[in-house]
Amino acid sequence: MDFLKDLEIPDDVKGQLQEKLQEFTQAQIDEHVQGLKAKNEELLAEKRRAQQEKEKIDAEAKAERERIAAENGQFKELYESQKEEASQLRSTIEQMNQAVAQQKIQGEASRLASSLTKDTARAQLLEKEISQRLQLVDGEVKVVDESGQLTVSTLDDLSANIKQSYPFLVDGSQAQGGGAARSQGGADVGAREMSRDDFEQMNPAKKAEFMKSGGKLVD
């Protein structure tokens, strides 16, 4: 406002001009300040919108991650459950197959034992021995050796072998000797009946063998 001092105009006019200039200047300043405030509010609002948008995107991303994690967890749980069920089913099937195989083996062993003796006690002993020499292969009962290895022997061959190995358990084999073991004193362990005197002459092992084979003592 100093330039008004150099003007050669009345003082009252200078005062009016100075007042008008001050009002104009203040108005310009106020307008500029209002513009800055408005721009600042606009920038703040834009920042808030950007922040809200970011928070929305973050929340959606988090929800998606949680959904995927939940689905993966459910899938894993379902997979593990089905895996366990499949394992149990395989185990059940295997047990059933083993049971069927054992039934077939026991059935064949029982048939062979019954063909060798009519005595129930002896048949049970023979069945146990015979079953250890049988194995189910591809649905068929095959003969194995004492170590469990498959052989080319037939069931008839096995039956003949059992007759030679256990003549004291086979009907009609005792009278012919058939390799039956004898204890001291000439007592026939494979005989169905034996006098008490002959029985007493045998060692403990032979006594047990005689009784186990169904032998009877007579006076």
CA distance from start to end of the chain? 159
Q: What local confidence, expressed as pLDDT, does residue 182 receive?
A: 39
Q: What local confidence, expressed as pLDDT, does residue 188 receive?
A: 52
Q: What local confidence, expressed as pLDDT, does residue 6 receive?
A: 62
Per-domain boundaries in the chain: 181-219
Which conformational region is residue 185 in: left (phi greater than 0), alpha (psi within -120 to 50 degrees), or beta? left
Residue whose token pair is 């080319």: 152
Could you tell me whether strands 193-195 and 216-218 are parallel, antiparallel, or unpaired per DSSP bridges? parallel
Q: How far apart are CA 209 and CA 169, in angstroms?
A: 10
Rounded average pLDDT per 10-residue block, the chain, 219 residues: 60 72 81 85 88 89 86 83 88 87 89 90 89 89 88 89 86 50 44 71 74 72
Q: What local confidence, expressed as pLDDT, does residue 163 receive?
A: 86
Q: How far apart are CA 197 and CA 209, in angstroms?
A: 17
Q: What local confidence, expressed as pLDDT, does residue 65 receive?
A: 86
Residue whose token pair is 């195989």: 101
- Asked whether the whole model's pTM tops 0.75, one would answer no
Best CA proximity match to 168, nearest among 157, 180, 176: 180
